[in-house]
Structure 1
Amino acid sequence: MRALRVFLLGLGFMVLAIRPAFAADPVLTILFSGNTYGYYDPCPTCGPEKLGGLARRATYIRNLRTQPPTAGKTLVVAGAWEFLPEVSAAPPEPEKLPAVAKAHERLGYDVLAVTPAEVKVLTEHKAAVPKDAVILGQEPTTRIMTIGGKAVGLVFFPMPADVSAPVPDKLMDAVAKAASGLRGKTALVVGISPWGAIDEEAFINTRVGAVDVLLGSGGGSGFPSRTSKNGKTLWTRAYIKGKTINRLDLFALPGASGFTWKVGDNFMAKVQPLDAAFPQDEAIEKLF
Structure 2
Amino acid sequence: MRNSLTALIVFALLALAPAFISTYWTGQLTAYLVYGLLAISLSLVWGYGGILCFGQAMFFGIGGYLMAVITKGMILPGLTSSYLGLAAAMAGAGLFALALGSFLFAGRGISGAYLAIITLAIALVLERLMTNWYALGGYNGLLNVPPLDLGLFGARLELVDRMPTFYVILGIVAAVYFAVVALLNTRYGLLMTAVRSHPDRLAFLGYSNLKLRLSVFALGAMIAGLAGALFVTLDGFVSPTLIGFTLSTEVLIWVAIGGKEMLLAAFLGALLTRWTESWLVEIFGDYWTLLLGLVFMISVVLLPKGLLATPLYKLGGRKRL
TM-score normalised over the length of structure 1? 0.24
Greater fraction helix: 2
Greater fraction strand: 1
Select the structure with the greater relative contact order (CA < 8 A; seq sep ≥ 6): 2
